[in-house]
């Protein structure tokens, strides 16, 4: 079972190595959270790591609670029922994606490595890299999501399959590389830390065996299943908080995210390393041949359910949060016909930087002009991977992507792990830990953790 003290240490100290973009200087960072002001109009969108910017910050993971305004965040594409068999051809680089969820339903972070393989698509983690995260561009607001997946292996190596909302509601299924028969389940409401929500499941080796992992999420219950067998059921009525008068139950539109990352990197906090099963051994033979550790994704199937009864509907294209919200629950969300597209990565919901032409045409033209370059530079086959990962590994290992705080391409990865900071902040009762992590960011280059 999960050691609660270890988890508490992990969440309170955080994993800042993965939460913070590597910027040109610390003063470039503008913070946004409960203890600071909201983002300024010049960088209006608050990422889930608590930093302000434009572009990718304004799409997946844009937190309306701490952005300049709710409409700074780009509307969230509605759920799509479908089955996707994964190859690199259907996954677009996040720094090329401009919001057209009809053309691309999946993105990966440009520091990551995805590779085609006979049995599925590989999410690779080369030596001393940050790993890889793949995210849906659309959001699920209740539905059944099933992923056929093989986790990675080894101490300190974490594979994960989660649902994550812009206000940090979260449903987790995580795989620690040293305990391959005990997937960990968890859930969070608006990023608030709880040491009682985790529960381990039991199955056969998750690295050597294919399993289908299913999250069946309704307005009233949440079921985690493996190969069609329910392992855990959570009922919404079990989550009522008499102090707040709210149900601490994941209930807002969420993206699907699947990843591999080095929780046991030596730069991380001791609690994070302990939770991840110890330090990553960066000298194992796989980092020489084929050149990486990996998780393997075969397919994802999504069945969208109806939104909550009574949901305000002014269209069918996108989810948006209403203005002047207090609780940020499911009642805060409406369905509209607002567009989900921006003209470039300097755009936001306040100024999309669109041409005078039709929004979708301009987005498609922009995307098609970069699609080939994206494939050639960052996507490859398993047979080509040694040369490709070798050339990319220097960037991944250094953690530097040459971006400024306005257009970092790590927003989705920090979204996935950015909740660690928010959980800790909520646990403090006053956001003290969020402020603490902000101070740590100023000294991240010294790796104080």
The secondary structure of 282-339, three-state, reads CCCHHHCCCCEEEEEEEEEEEEECCCCCCCCEECCCEEEECCCCCCCCHHHEEEECCC
Report residue 89 as tokens. 């051809």
Point out the residues that are catalytic.
170, 174
Q: What is the pTM of this model?
A: 0.78
Contact 163, 215 (CB under 8 A): yes
pLDDT block averages, 10 residues each, the chain of length 449: 39 35 57 90 92 94 96 98 98 94 93 92 97 97 98 98 98 98 97 92 98 98 98 98 96 98 96 96 96 98 96 97 93 97 94 67 37 36 42 33 31 33 30 35 37
10 Å CB burial of residue 250 (0-12, 13-18, 19+) is buried
Cα pseudo-dihedral 116, 120, 125, 127, rounded to 10: -60
Q: Which residues are within 8 A (CB) of 236 and not within 5 positions of it... i.e. 6 or more apart?
A: 219, 220, 221, 222, 247, 249, 251
Tally of domains in the chain: 1
Q: Would you state the pLDDT for residue 416?
A: 33
Q: State whether residue 440 is helix, strand or coil.
A: helix
10 Å CB burial of residue 372 (0-12, 13-18, 19+) is exposed
Q: Does a structural domain hold residue 372?
A: no
Q: Does a structural domain hold residue 373?
A: no
Please count the other Cβ atoms lying within 10 Å of the Cβ belonging to residue 116.
18
Q: Which domain holds residue 179?
A: 77-304
**Residue among 438, 444, 357 nearest 66 (CA):** 438
CA–CA–CA angle 436, 438, 439 (5° rounding) = 65
Q: Would you state the pLDDT for residue 348?
A: 96
Q: Does a structural domain hold residue 165?
A: yes
CATH number of the domain at 126, please. 2.60.120.200
Q: Does a structural domain hold residue 425?
A: no
State the first-to-last Cα distance of the chain, in angstroms, to the nearest integer.
26
- CA-CA distance, 43 to 52, in Å (whole number)? 5
- CA-CA distance, 380 to 386, in Å (whole number)? 10
Report residue 341 as tokens. 């597209």
Q: Does a structural domain hold residue 187?
A: yes
Contact 433, 425 (CB under 8 A): yes
Q: Does a structural domain hold residue 56?
A: no
Positive or negative torsion for Cα 196, 272, 187, 230: negative
Q: Would you state the pLDDT for residue 34?
A: 83
Q: Which string of b and e fits 357-370 if b means at least 16 CB within 10 Å?
A: eebeebbbebbeee
Q: Would you state the pLDDT for residue 28?
A: 82
Q: Does a structural domain hold residue 356?
A: no
- DSSP bridge pairs for 212: 148
Q: Would you state the pLDDT for residue 43?
A: 96
Q: Does a structural domain hold residue 162?
A: yes
Q: Would you state the pLDDT for residue 26?
A: 52
């Amino acid at each position: 079972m999960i050691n609660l003290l270890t988890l508490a240490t992990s969440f309170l100290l955080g994993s800042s190595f993965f939460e913070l973009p590597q910027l040109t200087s610390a003063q470039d960072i503008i913070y946004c959270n409960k203890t600071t002001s909201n983002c300024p109009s010049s960088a209006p969108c608050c990422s889930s790591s608590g930093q302000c910017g434009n572009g990718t910050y304004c799409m997946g993971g844009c937190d309306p609670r701490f952005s300049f305004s709710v409409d700074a965040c780009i509307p969230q594409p509605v759920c799509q029922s479908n089955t996707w068999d994964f190859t690199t051809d259907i996954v677009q680089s996040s720094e090329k994606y401009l919001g057209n969820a009809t053309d691309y339903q999946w993105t990966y972070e440009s520091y990551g490595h995805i590779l085609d393989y006979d049995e599925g698509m590989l999410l690779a983690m080369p030596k001393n890299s940050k790993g890889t995260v793949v995210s849906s561009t659309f959001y699920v607001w209740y539905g059944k999501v099933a992923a056929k997946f093989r986790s990675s292996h080894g101490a300190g190596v974490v594979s994960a399959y989660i649902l994550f909302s812009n206000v940090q509601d979260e449903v987790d299924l995580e795989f620690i590389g040293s305990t391959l028969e005990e997937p960990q389940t968890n859930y969070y409401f608006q990023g608030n830390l709880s040491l009682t929500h985790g529960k381990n499941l039991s199955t056969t080796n998750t690295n050597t065996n294919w399993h289908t992992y299913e999250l069946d999420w309704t307005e009233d219950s949440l079921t985690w299943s493996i190969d069609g067998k329910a392992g855990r059921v959570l009922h919404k009525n079990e989550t009522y908080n008499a102090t707040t008068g709210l149900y601490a139950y994941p209930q807002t539109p969420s993206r699907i995210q699947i990843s591999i990352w080095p929780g046991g990197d030596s730069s991380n906090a001791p609690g994070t390393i302990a939770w991840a099963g110890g330090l990553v051994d960066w000298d194992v033979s796989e980092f020489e041949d084929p050149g990486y550790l990996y998780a393997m994704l075969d397919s994802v199937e999504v069945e969208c359910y109806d939104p909550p009864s009574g949901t305000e509907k002014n269209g069918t294209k996108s989810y948006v949060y209403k203005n002047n919200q207090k609780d940020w629950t499911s009642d805060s969300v409406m369905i509209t016909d607002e567009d989900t597209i921006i003209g470039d990565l300097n755009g936001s919901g306040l100024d999309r930087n669109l041409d005078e032409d039709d929004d979708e045409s301009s987005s498609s033209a922009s995307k098609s002009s970069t699609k080939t370059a994206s494939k050639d530079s960052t996507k490859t086959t398993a047979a080509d991977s040694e040369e490709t990962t070798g050339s990319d590994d220097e960037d991944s290992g250094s953690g530097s992507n040459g971006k400024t705080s306005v257009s970092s391409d790590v927003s989705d990865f920090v979204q996935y792990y950015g909740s660690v900071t928010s959980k800790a902040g909520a646990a403090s009762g006053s956001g003290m830990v969020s402020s603490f992590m902000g101070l740590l960011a100023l000294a991240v280059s010294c790796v104080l953790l």
